[in-house]
Structure 1
Amino acid sequence: MTPHQQHPAKFTATRRRGAVAGGLPLAIVALLATAAGPAASATGLDGLGDPYFPLSGNGGYHVQHYDLTLGYDPGTRRLNGNAVITASATQALTRFNLDLNGLEITSITVDGTKATFRRTGQELEVTPKQALPNGQVFRTTVVYSGTPKPVTDPDGSSEGWMTTDDGAFVAGEPQGAMSWFPANNHPKDKSTYDFAITVPQGRTAVANGVFDGQTTDKGLTTFRWHQAEPMAAYLATATVGNFTVEQYTTADGIKVYNAVDSREAAAAAPVLKQLPAVLQWESSLFGPYPFKAAGSIVDRAPNVGYALETQTRPVYDSAPDLTTLVHETAHQWFGNSVSITTWKDIWLNEGFATYAEWLYAEQHGGPTAQKNFDANYAKSAKADIWKFPTADPGSASHIFDEPVYLRGAMALHKLRQAVGDKTFFSILRLWADTNRGGNGTTAQFISLAESQSRMDLSQLFRTWISTSGKPAKP
């Protein structure tokens, strides 16, 4: 995420591979099963135990695929949804939960048979007619409708389905996915997606992955999208607006789809023109681009105040500058392909994307990474950047603050200095490659860095990501 307008609570920046089971690495399936609790329990937990968002996600199953059929009318702001959720039970289940905030449920079926349900806050508790044995693949269909409302973050900002003057700006980090579809809403649980989004003719609906075409009938147009690589729910989008669309394929075979609000087109054009070069440059540093599709959604959403790295196709609330494009594109490796396991590890997303900004500037005639480091180190010992440990912001209200972004980037620069450029960039590429399509933790990153450098880096990481306060002069 790149907040690029002043927000009272959010930091303003200048801004996974393994054996796979059902689209998820086996290690992550095991992790989900552990999180779900003892196998003897027949009720999936109503959260995955994240220390910052304890109710996010749900235990007892892994979602393999979401098939979302949506209809949205910008005039009435009404959303109609049909979510078909294919999942595998990671324990015996007599009951399981989904995350859904607001909206009205018309019906729920499990494997075609009507299920009972009840609502408690963001929890949608589903009881199938027949118990689901451990390992069973089952299909849940939820029919719902209503006026989606944004989710308010602990830091006071809004996310999820946010209306605009011509449609909706849809950005879900960290909790907003539940504002528009029922989900297992935690980065631990990654899935493939299909979208069919119907809007009034003349509007465009943009989601993730490869564009599968559009059809128009009786004044309504349906846009179809397929996200083949695993994706966390918070990275899904279904942004709607009056967009000018540009499509092309890069020399590397990446399908690009840009959707730009006409009011932002002039400012956005020179930056979006740089996307193929940015993709190529980041691929040279971080390894092959992890998805089949790329692009941008440039909306006019003045009340949002940030951009988000929605998978394959970041969404910008206004025309981005080049630094923001570099940042959100870097997230396709760090955050999207390699996702965090708990929200306290958010520096693995934001610190890495911020350091990508520094590297880009260094290699394209701007200030060196060292100069960026020095400028941040020069800040007062009482400055916000030193207030809490980078690798543990302490609460959900601080996960988008300066220590996560800037001190996270500083930690990577200190690692680069300690191990040398050759080893440093090897570590980044290995991190992106070995965890492609999956998840990672801070401890795993440190272990990789130590194994590749053959150095004890415990003091370095303790100083730069695990403690608060300004470190002694480096």
Structure 2
Amino acid sequence: MTADRPGRWRRGTGHAAVLVAAALVVAVTPASAAPPGHLPGANGGGTPGAAGIGDPLFPDEGNGGFDVTHYDLAMRYRPDDRTVTARATVSARATQSLSRFDLDFDGNTVTGLTVDGRAAGYRRDGDELVVTPARSLHRGHRFRVTVDYRADPAATHHCAPPNSPITSGWLPTSDGFVTAGQPSCARSVFPGSDHPSDKAGYTFRVTAPDGLTAVANGVPAGRHEHGGETTWTYQQRVPMATELVQVAVGHYTVQTAPGPDHTTIRNVVPTSMAGTLGNDLAVTGPQLAWMRQQAGSYPFATYGVLAAPANFRFALECQTLTLTSAGMFGALPQSYWSPVLAHELAHQWYGDSVAPARWADVWLNEGHASYYEASWADREGYASFVDRMHTAYTKGDTWRSQYGPIAQPSAANLFNDNVYDGGALVLYALREKVGAARFTAIERAWAARYAGGTGSTRQFIALASSVAHRDLHGFLTAWLYGTHTPPMPGHPDWTTDPVG
């Protein structure tokens, strides 16, 4: 994410502001349900799954006792009443014998719930949906939870941590909606295990009135016209974190072109701006080719930018379909928005394909993306890479004092300057330590070894040491966990500003 942080448009002073509130409606055949709040006892023993996976920063995110393998999300948008009706089918495997389990789900109105086709009990507990199946689920059992619900995208949600530019997973536009779930607001859009370590495949089936276009992550898998509406289907087979889900409906034009590695470039722009934005987004192909040289083959089948007709001050690396505001392109020069797009593209390798194992590892997302953002800006002659690293170095001790070490952010300031440019500075220090060729080998090895999964800071340090054929544990530990900024290799004259 390039977000609402001081000093830039994406770090501007305003929080996400939407032009016009609209909403979604999805019609589905309701699943059976026990009366709301009724939790019949499950037969066959088992114990309750934990409410969260135990992430030190956000202990209640995700869910214990099962791993999600696939989401099937069916949504229907009807502009007349501006609501969404939806059916989420969550396929999972029990990792313990379960008498009950939780799904992360904030807001919305549940209208039916089944487990393996049988009516199940459920109740709401804050942003947890507590489910008691008719029968206990034995360890290893593959099961399916179907939740029918109605959503009001304009409703208040409580999914975001402090200082987040995103306060709901729904972003209404003048003619539909987009979604933005990072870091913990996917739960306001659909029920699931809302932590980046529990990745899964996805099928999206989005129905909208004729004349509107629906898009989502992944590869288009057909569309069906029926009774004045069209259902659009997309498949995301490569595992994806919930925070990266993108579903959008509006008056869009989809512009496609061949890309490197047999990739299809798919940019989605408001039809009224198709000419202008189509020219601006022609940068997508060259950026893909350039990032391939840095990080290795692109990890997905499609990539593009969704330029939404709404005014918000962030961009988000939704897997295969980066979200940004269409207004950014007219309001700011290319020297600004082109590096922002490079930042979000870099996330496809670092943050999407390889997700953080825990939220404290988020510097692996944002540090990498900021590093390549600065590299692209330097390549295009917009701004000096070394100057940006030098500036970050001077602020290093101040950032560590304010936010903590780079790999130990707080929940209250998860997306902070030290995670972004401080993380990029760690990578620059590593390159200066091992040399450019060895550094590129480390970057490619990291993206390849953990593709489709998750990676931790400890694993990155171990991999860097292995690829560099030298022990980098002490060096990287000081940079990532130290309370003071270490000396920068190759720049003995660099100093940090006094704290305070």
TM-score (norm 2): 0.84
Greater shift, 455-464 or 252-261, is seen at 455-464
Amino acid at match of 2:100: R
- The answer to whether the Cα contact below 8 Å between 2:308 and 2:324 also exists between their aligned partners in 1 is yes
Structure of higher CA gyration radius: 2
* Residue equivalent to 1:26: none
* Residue equivalent to 1:2: 2
2:162 is equivalent to residue 154 of structure 1 = yes
The aligned runs of 1:385-400 (5 Å cut-off) are 387-394=403-410, 396-400=411-415
Greater shift, 269-278 or 55-64, is seen at 269-278
1:130-182 superposed Cα distances (whole Å, 9 cap, x missing partner):
11111011111111113134544321532411212221121100111111111
2:320 is equivalent to residue 312 of structure 1 = yes
The aligned runs of 1:243-258 (5 Å cut-off) are 243-258=252-267
- The answer to whether the Cα contact below 8 Å between 1:213 and 1:223 also exists between their aligned partners in 2 is yes
C-alpha distance 376-455 of structure 1, shift in aligned 2 (>3 A)? same
Residue of 131, 139, 158 corresponding to 1:134: 139
Aligned residues: 444
Amino acid at match of 1:117: Y
Shift, 1:383, TM fit:
6.0
Shift, 1:287, TM fit:
1.0
1:246-273 superposed Cα distances (whole Å, 9 cap, x missing partner):
1233253212222112455455333310
* Residue equivalent to 2:57: 52
- Partners of 2:390 and 2:54 lie apart in 1 by 38
* Residue equivalent to 1:403: 418
Residue of 85, 97, 101 corresponding to 2:90: 85
Residue of 454, 466, 469 corresponding to 1:454: 469
- Partners of 1:134 and 1:380 lie apart in 2 by 48
* Residue equivalent to 1:181: 190
Amino acid at match of 2:470: M
- The answer to whether the Cα contact below 8 Å between 1:387 and 1:468 also exists between their aligned partners in 2 is no
Question: What runs of 5+ residues in structure 1 fail to find an aligned partner?
Answer: 11-39
1:300-355 superposed Cα distances (whole Å, 9 cap, x missing partner):
221x3111000011111234521111111110000000000111111000000010
* Residue equivalent to 2:28: none
Residue of 272, 278, 295 corresponding to 2:281: 272
Amino acid at match of 2:315: A
- Partners of 1:315 and 1:163 lie apart in 2 by 13
- The answer to whether the Cα contact below 8 Å between 1:386 and 1:468 also exists between their aligned partners in 2 is no
* Residue equivalent to 2:305: 296
* Residue equivalent to 1:209: 218
* Residue equivalent to 2:452: 437
- Partners of 2:178 and 2:281 lie apart in 1 by 19
Question: Secondary structure of the residue that 2:99 maps to in structure 1?
Answer: coil
- Partners of 1:193 and 1:162 lie apart in 2 by 21
- The answer to whether the Cα contact below 8 Å between 1:80 and 1:145 also exists between their aligned partners in 2 is yes
The aligned runs of 1:304-343 (5 Å cut-off) are 304-318=312-326, 319=328, 321-343=337-359
Shift, 1:437, TM fit:
0.3
Shift, 1:422, TM fit:
1.1
- Partners of 2:402 and 2:422 lie apart in 1 by 8
- Partners of 2:220 and 2:412 lie apart in 1 by 35
* Residue equivalent to 2:386: 370
Shift, 1:366, TM fit:
4.6
* Residue equivalent to 1:32: none
- The answer to whether the Cα contact below 8 Å between 2:214 and 2:247 also exists between their aligned partners in 1 is yes
Shift, 1:214, TM fit:
2.1
Amino acid at match of 2:248: T
Shift, 1:388, TM fit:
2.2
Residue of 334, 344, 347 corresponding to 2:363: 347
- Partners of 1:263 and 1:380 lie apart in 2 by 44
- The answer to whether the Cα contact below 8 Å between 1:93 and 1:131 also exists between their aligned partners in 2 is yes
1:186-215 superposed Cα distances (whole Å, 9 cap, x missing partner):
111010000001112222221100012222
- Partners of 1:349 and 1:445 lie apart in 2 by 12
Shift, 1:387, TM fit:
4.0
- Partners of 1:251 and 1:144 lie apart in 2 by 40
- The answer to whether the Cα contact below 8 Å between 1:153 and 1:159 also exists between their aligned partners in 2 is no
- Partners of 1:241 and 1:253 lie apart in 2 by 28
Shift, 1:66, TM fit:
0.6
1:75-103 superposed Cα distances (whole Å, 9 cap, x missing partner):
42211111111111111111111111111
- The answer to whether the Cα contact below 8 Å between 1:414 and 1:460 also exists between their aligned partners in 2 is no
Shift, 1:9, TM fit:
8.6
Taking only aligned residues, the RMSD between alpha carbons, in angstroms, comes to 2.2
Question: Secondary structure of the residue that 2:236 maps to in structure 1?
Answer: strand
- Partners of 2:52 and 2:272 lie apart in 1 by 41
* Residue equivalent to 1:195: 204
- The answer to whether the Cα contact below 8 Å between 1:172 and 1:234 also exists between their aligned partners in 2 is yes
- The answer to whether the Cα contact below 8 Å between 2:160 and 2:183 also exists between their aligned partners in 1 is no
Question: What runs of 5+ residues in structure 2 fail to find an aligned partner?
Answer: 4-8, 16-44, 330-336, 488-493, 496-500
Greater shift, 369-378 or 442-451, is seen at 369-378
Amino acid at match of 1:60: G
Question: Secondary structure of the residue that 1:371 maps to in structure 2?
Answer: helix
- Partners of 1:405 and 1:61 lie apart in 2 by 32
- Partners of 1:193 and 1:119 lie apart in 2 by 25
Residue of 73, 90, 94 corresponding to 1:68: 73
1:221-246 superposed Cα distances (whole Å, 9 cap, x missing partner):
21111001000011011122221221
Question: Secondary structure of the residue that 1:62 maps to in structure 2?
Answer: strand
C-alpha distance 409-251 of structure 1, shift in aligned 2 (>3 A)? closer
Question: Secondary structure of the residue that 1:173 maps to in structure 2?
Answer: coil
* Residue equivalent to 2:127: 122
1:372-420 superposed Cα distances (whole Å, 9 cap, x missing partner):
21132344854689642111112x2211110010010011000000001
